[in-house]
Amino acid sequence: HNSIVFNHKVAPYNRVSRRDPINDPHIPAPAITHLAFGQNGRDLVTVDTSWTENTSVGCNYTLQGPTGSTTEMNMCTNIKFWTYVDAPQSSKVEQRKRRNGEMPMSYELVSSMVAPHGRNGQVYALAITPDGSTACTLSREEDAFRVWVKNTSYSLSAAKEMGSTLWKCLYRVRSPSGYANLLSGCELMGEGLVSFSSDGSVLSVAYGPYLTLWDHANATLLTSVSIDSDGAGASQDIRQVHFLTDSDDAILISTATQIGVKSPFGGGTNPCYLGQDEWSFDFGSMGKGVHVSAVVPLRDYGGLRGVFVLCISLGFGARSMISIVGREGKVVCADGTEGPLQWALQGEVQSLSVNKCNDTNVELLAITKDCRMFSLRCGPEMQKEQEAIVLEKKRTLQELLPRAPVLKIARDYTQSAKQSKRRKISVSSVPKGPRSARDFNSFEFPALSGKFTASFIAKNLGTKGN
333-359 pLDDT, tens digit per residue, is 887 778 889 999 999 998 999 988 888
Neighbouring CB atoms inside 10 A of 366's CB total 24
> Which is more confidently placed, 227 or 464?
227
pLDDT over 70, % of the chain: 67
- Distances in whole angstroms, Cα of residue 363 to Cα of each of 18, 105, 393: 46, 24, 21
Which candidate, 285, 247, 281, 288, places its Cα nearest to that of 264? 247
Q: Average pLDDT for residues 34-48, to the nearest whole number?
A: 92
DSSP label of 49: E
Amino acid at the residue 155: S
3-state helix, strand, coil in the chain (%, to 5): 15, 35, 50
Instruction: Return the pLDDT at 206.
Output: 92
Q: How far apart are alpha carbons 358 and 138 in whole angstroms?
A: 34
Which candidate, 202, 198, 197, 199, places its Cα nearest to that of 216? 202
Q: Are strands 258-262 and 43-52 parallel, antiparallel or unpaired?
A: unpaired
Encode pLDDT of 261-311 as tens digits: 888 876 544 444 445 578 888 998 888 899 999 999 988 788 888 899 999
Q: Average pLDDT for residues 111-121, to the nearest whole number?
A: 91
Instruction: Return the pLDDT at 417.
Output: 47
First to last CA, the chain: 76
Alpha helices per DSSP H over 134-262: 156-162
What is the widest separation between alpha-carbon atoms in the chain?
125
Sheet of strand 373-378: strand arrangement? 349-358, 361-368, 373-378
How many CA atoms are closer than 13 Å to the CA of 418, on its beta-carbon side? 3
Is the sign of the CA dihedral 254, 259, 263, 268 positive or negative?
A: negative
Q: How confident is the model at residue 254 (pLDDT cuts 50, 70, 90)?
A: very high
Instruction: Return the pLDDT at 446.
Output: 55
Instruction: Return the pLDDT at 54.
Output: 85
Q: How far apart are alpha carbons 46 and 83 in whole angstroms?
A: 11
Please answer whether residues 282 and 230 qualify as being in contact, where contact means their C-beta atoms are separated by less than 8 angstroms: yes
Angle at 362 between CA 378 and CA 311, to 5 degrees: 85
Q: How confident is the model at residue 451 (pLDDT cuts 50, 70, 90)?
A: low
164 SS3 class: coil
Instruction: Return the pLDDT at 226.
Output: 86
Amino acid at the residue 197: S
Rounded to two decimals, what is the model's pTM?
0.74
